[in-house]
Amino acid sequence: MTNPYAINVSKKIWFDLFAKLIGLVLLGAFIGIIAMFSVDTTETFISTTVIFSIVGVVLILVLIQTGWDYLYLSSYVYELGNEQVFLKAGVISRFERNIPYSRIQHITLYETFWQRMLGLCTISIDSAREFGAGITIPYLSKSDALKLRESILKISVRYKPVAGV
Q: pLDDT tens digit string along 116-165?
A: 998 999 999 988 766 666 888 999 999 999 999 999 988 888 877 665 44
Is residue 79 within 8 Å of residue 2, measured between CB atoms?
Answer: yes
Q: Which domain holds residue 153?
A: 77-159
Residue 29 resides in a domain: yes
- Output the pLDDT for position 141: 92
Output the CA–CA distances (angstroms, integers) from residue 15 to 10, 99, 128, 143, in the order listed. 8, 31, 35, 20
Is residue 55 within 8 Å of residue 24, measured between CB atoms?
Answer: yes
Residue 13 resides in a domain: yes
Mean pLDDT of the chain: 84
Q: How far apart are the first and last CA of the chain?
A: 36
Same domain, 84 and 52: no
CA atoms of 130 and 133, how far apart (whole Å) = 6
Same domain, 104 and 45: no
Single residue among 50, 73, 96 that ends a domain in this structure: 73
